[in-house]
Chain A
């Protein structure tokens, strides 16, 4: 299929056909936004949610200082806390408080674990809902 000839808007005497303007835009200004599913909204109205540390699939592992999950018994890492943390407890810890039953060091390890949660891991939805403004 061939493109029809379009008259140039410059030197021609006849009335030119104007093409619509189009800008390719700045390299850094994205032209595409993808909609992400919003499950955290639901969790936000399930007021009392829990975050297990670590998730059930890795129960028995230890948590290192930086929040990564390491084999049980690893030097310098902390055993998992005895129970999942409630949303309220985590919210306070994220605001500078301390998770119940922890030392300064183990608290830091657990909080780092929680901060690193990704979608699909146990506790992520609860964690995401805590970040929503106004509860």
Chain B
């Protein structure tokens, strides 16, 4: 399964204190995200498998809880929201 975010031009991303507001242009829907969702969204401009995504996040961030089950849950939320695609 490859997870992929839309190209940056498809999103308006605005940080707002602890949350990040994201406007998804294709659907016109607004979402509010907290970490790690915005970070995952940014990394997935390149399509990645869950394992590759974990590795990329661990390399870019100090990942205190590198739990694949938690990452799967985060990915599912982003897919349900229509922000990323699972191929």
Query: Is the contact region of chain B dominated by helix, strand, or loop, or is it mixed?
Result: mixed
A22 and B62 in contact (CB under 8 A), knowing A27-B70, A31-B36, A31-B37? yes
A6 and B71 in contact (CB under 8 A), knowing A34-B30, A35-B32? no
Count of chain B residues with Cβ under 8 Å from any Cβ of A?
Answer: 31
By the criterion CB–CB under 8 Å, are B69 and A20 in contact?
Answer: no
CB distance from A122 to the nearest CB of B (A): 25
CB distance from B22 to the nearest CB of A (A): 9
Q: A68-94 CB contact bits vs B (8 Å, 1 = yes)? A: 000000000000000000000000000
A21 and B78 in contact (CB under 8 A), knowing A33-B31, A34-B29, A35-B30? no
A31 and B33 in contact (CB under 8 A), knowing A22-B57, A24-B71? yes
A24 and B67 in contact (CB under 8 A), knowing A32-B37, A32-B81, A32-B83? yes
Query: Is the contact region of chain A dominated by helix, strand, or loop, or is it mixed?
Result: loop
Count of chain A residues with Cβ under 8 Å from any Cβ of B?
Answer: 20
Interface status of B10 (Cβ within 8 A of chain A): no
Q: B28-65 CB contact bits vs A (8 Å, 1 = yes)? A: 01111111110100000000000000001101111111
Distance A23 CA – B64 CA, assembled complex (angstroms): 6
Contacts of A135 on B, CB cut-off 8 Å?
A: none
User: Within the complex, which residue of B31, B33, B36, B69 is in contact with A22, where a contact is CB–CB below 8 Å?
Assistant: B36
By the criterion CB–CB under 8 Å, are B35 and A22 in contact?
Answer: yes
Q: A2-43 CB contact bits vs B (8 Å, 1 = yes)? A: 010010010000000011111111111011111100000000
By the criterion CB–CB under 8 Å, are B61 and A19 in contact?
Answer: yes
By the criterion CB–CB under 8 Å, are B73 and A27 in contact?
Answer: yes
By the criterion CB–CB under 8 Å, are A34 and B81 in contact?
Answer: yes
By the criterion CB–CB under 8 Å, are B33 and A25 in contact?
Answer: no
Contacts of A21 on B, CB cut-off 8 Å?
A: 61-62, 64
- Supplied contacts A3-B56, A35-B31, 10 more A-B pairs, CB within 8 Å: A20-B61, A22-B63, A24-B63, A24-B66, A25-B65, A27-B69, A28-B73, A30-B77, A31-B33, A34-B81
